[in-house]
Structure 1
C-alpha cells in the first residue's frame, strides 16, 4: 500500500515522527509480560530500560498518521519495547533504504516493503527469513491471505508478513450515476460502457470515466490484461504486447475518441475531476478513501468490474513487514515479533485509512465488516500481484511511457507495446 503505494502516491513531503513509549500495565497487549526482555536489559544492555528498535515506512501520504496511531498504541500497551517510528518519503523510499542497508548507517530494524520488491531484496541477500520470529511470537501463516504469503515465501522461507492487500478498486460518484439513471455500480464491460456514456454531460463538463495516462495505470493496465486473458510475463519473456493487451489499450483510447473521457489527461487529472464532481467513475487504490472523505464526496466503492472478456482478475499490491539480514539482537527480534503479533489483531486504524487488511482475524471481525471498504476484500480470491520475477520493476518500467504514448494518441497501441517490449528485453539482456 504499489506498488508504489504505496511508490505510488505522489506526495513527497518528508515526515520524521518518533513515538514515545508510555508505561502500561506491566505486560504487553498479547499477555507476554516482558517478552524478549526477561534479562532486564534493553538492546544496549542497560538494566530496567525498554528495548528500542527503529521502524521505517514509506507512508508519507494521508496514510501515515494511521500507522503512527497503531505504533503509539502499541508503545503505550506494554513496558518492554519502544518503537522509534520514521516515515521516509515515498518517492525516495527504496533509494534511502538501499543506502541504509548497504552502509549500515541508520539502518532500520523493521521496515515496510512492497511485496513485489521482496524477491529482489532476497536475491541481494538483504532480508532475513521471518519463520523463527513468527514461530516464537505465535504468528501463523494460516492467519493471513494466502496469495501474499505464497508470494513472499521463497525456497520455503518466509520473508514478509503482510499488513494489507491493496487491489485496484472502483470509486463512483453516487450523485452523478443517480442523475444519469444508473441504479447500481457496473460489474462488467457492457454495464460499464453504458454507465459512463449515460453519465457523460459535455455541456456541464462532466465525464463518465476519465482515462488516466500515467499513474495509476500501474494497477489498471495489468488488471485489464489479465481480465482479457493476457499476461505480463509468459514464464520466460515479457508478454504485454499480446493481442489481449492491445485490445484493452484500444478500448481505453476509445473512450477518449467517443468523448466519454477528455484527452491529454495529466498526472492526477482524473482524481482532480473526481474531487470536483466532474468524473463519475475512477479506478484507484484503497488509499484514496481518506482524501474523498475529507472532500465530503457522496461516493461509493466497489470491486473492479470485469472489463476483459476472459475472467475476473485484479492487480494488487501488499505492504509487508520485513527485517534486514543484519538485525541480530535477540531482544530487538523478540520485540519486533511482539509488535507484529499485536498488529495482527490490532490494526483497525490501518483499515480506517482505506486499506483492506491481510490478517484473517481482522477481516472477519465485525468492526472491519462494518467499514465501507470491506467490499474490497471480496476481490481477494482472484487478486494477482506483479510477476514474481527478479528486478521486475526495472524490467517493466518501459510499459508506462509507451502506454502513455498510446493513450495520448501519439502511437498506435501495437507499436507502443512492441516498443515497450523491445526496451524491456534490453533490460534483461535479450
Structure 2
C-alpha cells in the first residue's frame, strides 16, 4: 500500500510539473503579443523572426513605388544588404506606382500588411505627418549613427516638421535640360545656355521650320509640373504666398507669356499634344527639352547623341529649380525595438552604399556618395547633382496636389492661345481657392 501511494504521488507530481511548464510557455506567448508590436496580419515579432529569442533573422517589410526601370536597382541594394549581415532580412515589395498611395492608405489605416519601412515622395510627408501616420526618425537615426548633416540640405529641411525629422533622403530628382548635341553643333552653338538671353538666342538658331526642327517644343501638359514652378520662382514669384495661392502674380504671368511667346515666334510648334515634345526630341526634331532624370534610360535606349545640363535661369530674380525627392519613412505603428534597430541598420547601409541607386540615373542625396570618385565619374548623375543647391519642392501645404491641380489645364489654355495668360492664371487661382474650401 505504501509503495502504491508513493507511485501515485509521483504521478500526480509529474502531471503538475507538465501543467506548470505548459502554462509558462503560454504565458510568455501572451505577454509577447500584449506588449510587443503586432506585425502584419496580427502576427507578433516572434513570428516575424525576432533574432533575440528564436535565433532567426528579424524580417522587415519594405514598400516602394519603383515599378519602372528603377526597381531592379533598389532590389540589388536590398539583396546586397541581406547578404552582408545575418541579423535582419528586408522583404522588398514593389507596389504599382499609380496605385502606391492608395495601397499605402489602406495598409496604414487598417494595419493589414502594413510595411515597416516605406519610400515616400518628400512632398507627401507633411500630409501623412498631419494624419499622425508617421513617426519621427531622429532617435532611430541617432542610434544607427545616421547624421542628417550627411545628406543634401533641401529634403532634410523640408521633412523637418516642428523640429522633428520624418524622412531619411534617398535622392533628389530636379528638372534638368536635355539637348541634342548634333543639332547644337550644326547650329554652331558651343554649349548649353545658362540664362534667358542665351536660351532665347539658341532656340532661334536651332529652329529650322523648313525641316520641321524646333529650338524648344513647349509642352502643354506634363512635365509643366516641374517647369512652370521653376520659372515662377526664378522670376521672383511664388506658388503659395503663405496664406493663399499666388500664381496669377505679375512674375508668374510674365513666365506664362514667355512660354506662349515661343509658340508665337515659331520656335515651338502650336497645338503640341501630350508627350509631343518628347516624341520630337526622340526624332531629332526638338533641340531642347526640360524634363527629369528619369528620361535618361529612354534616351540611352534610343541611341540619341544628347547632353544634360542644369536648367538655365530664365527668370530675372534667382536660380531655382523644382524637384522631387524619394525618402525613407517609418509608420507610427512600428514600435518594436528590434524592428526599429533593423530599419536603422538598413538605412545606414543605404546611405553609404547607394551608388547602385545612382546607376539607375538618380542623383543620390548622400553627401558621402556624391563626394566619392565613383559618383563623380557618372557624368549624368553628377551633372544633375549640381542643381541641388537651387532645388525647391512643392509648397509645404496640406493637400497641395489637389489645390494646384487647376493650374495645369489653365496653363495649357494659355500656351495653346485659348486664353490670355493673365486670364488663364486668374481662372486657375479662382478654381484653386474653390478647392481649398
TM-score by length of 2: 0.87
Matched-pair contact (CA < 8 Å) for 1:168–1:220: yes
What is aligned with 1:104? 111
* Structure with a larger share of its residues in helix: 2
Question: C-alpha deviations, 1:348-379, integer Å up to 9, x for none?
Answer: 12111221111110111111111112012222
Q: Structure 1 residue 193 and structure 2 residue 200: aligned?
A: yes
Q: Structure 1 residue 132 and structure 2 residue 139: aligned?
A: yes
| Other structure's SS at 1:171 match | strand
Could you tell me how far apart the structure 1 residues matched to 2:82 and 2:49 are? 18
Could you tell me how far apart the structure 2 residues matched to 1:59 and 1:271 are? 22
Q: CA deviation at 1:41?
A: 6.5
Match of 1:145 among 152, 174, 177: 152
Question: C-alpha deviations, 1:312-352, integer Å up to 9, x for none?
Answer: 11111111100111112222211111111001011112111
Matched-pair contact (CA < 8 Å) for 1:172–1:185: yes
Match of 2:410 among 397, 402, 410: 402
| Other structure's SS at 2:295 match | helix
| Other structure's SS at 1:397 match | helix
What is aligned with 1:335? 342
Matched-pair contact (CA < 8 Å) for 1:41–1:50: no
Matched-pair contact (CA < 8 Å) for 1:115–1:152: yes
Q: How does 1:56-71 map to 2 (within 5 A)?
A: 56-71=63-78
What is aligned with 2:228? 221
Matched-pair contact (CA < 8 Å) for 1:222–1:315: yes
Q: Structure 1 residue 54 and structure 2 residue 61: aligned?
A: yes
What is aligned with 1:416? 424
Q: CA deviation at 1:221?
A: 0.3
Superposition CA RMSD, Å: 1.5
Structure 2, gaps ≥5 residues long: 1-44
Larger Rg belongs to: 2
| Other structure's SS at 1:255 match | helix
What is aligned with 1:393? 401
Matched-pair contact (CA < 8 Å) for 1:138–1:341: yes
Q: How does 1:112-131 map to 2 (within 5 A)?
A: 112-131=119-138
Q: CA deviation at 1:42?
A: 7.1
Matched-pair contact (CA < 8 Å) for 1:62–1:291: no
Could you tell me how far apart the structure 2 residues matched to 1:42 and 1:97 are? 23
Q: Structure 1 residue 75 and structure 2 residue 82: aligned?
A: yes
Could you tell me how far apart the structure 1 residues matched to 2:299 and 2:77 are? 22
Question: C-alpha deviations, 1:357-406, integer Å up to 9, x for none?
Answer: 11110111111111112012222122111111122111111111111111
**After alignment, is 234-243 or 400-409 more displaced?**
400-409
Could you tell me how far apart the structure 2 residues matched to 1:415 and 1:78 are? 61
Could you tell me how far apart the structure 2 residues matched to 1:316 and 1:182 are? 28
TM-score by length of 1: 0.88
What is aligned with 1:43? 48
Q: How does 1:288-307 map to 2 (within 5 A)?
A: 288-307=295-314
| Other structure's SS at 2:386 match | helix
**After alignment, is 372-381 or 153-162 more displaced?**
372-381
The number of aligned residues is: 390
Could you tell me how far apart the structure 2 residues matched to 1:42 and 1:307 are? 57
Could you tell me how far apart the structure 1 residues matched to 2:203 and 2:72 are? 35
Matched-pair contact (CA < 8 Å) for 2:117–2:330: yes
Match of 1:384 among 377, 389, 392: 392
Matched-pair contact (CA < 8 Å) for 1:41–1:49: no
Question: C-alpha deviations, 1:206-236, integer Å up to 9, x for none?
Answer: 1111111111111100000011111101111
**After alignment, is 57-66 or 215-224 more displaced?**
57-66
Q: Structure 1 residue 427 and structure 2 residue 432: aligned?
A: no
Matched-pair contact (CA < 8 Å) for 2:49–2:57: no
What is aligned with 2:237? 230
| Other structure's SS at 1:82 match | strand
Structure 1 pair 257–396 and aligned structure 2 pair: CA distance change class (3 A): same
**After alignment, is 210-219 or 73-82 more displaced?**
73-82
Poorly superposed stretches of 4+, deviation over 2 Å: 40-46
What is aligned with 1:26? none
Could you tell me how far apart the structure 1 residues matched to 2:174 and 2:366 are? 15
Matched-pair contact (CA < 8 Å) for 2:167–2:329: yes
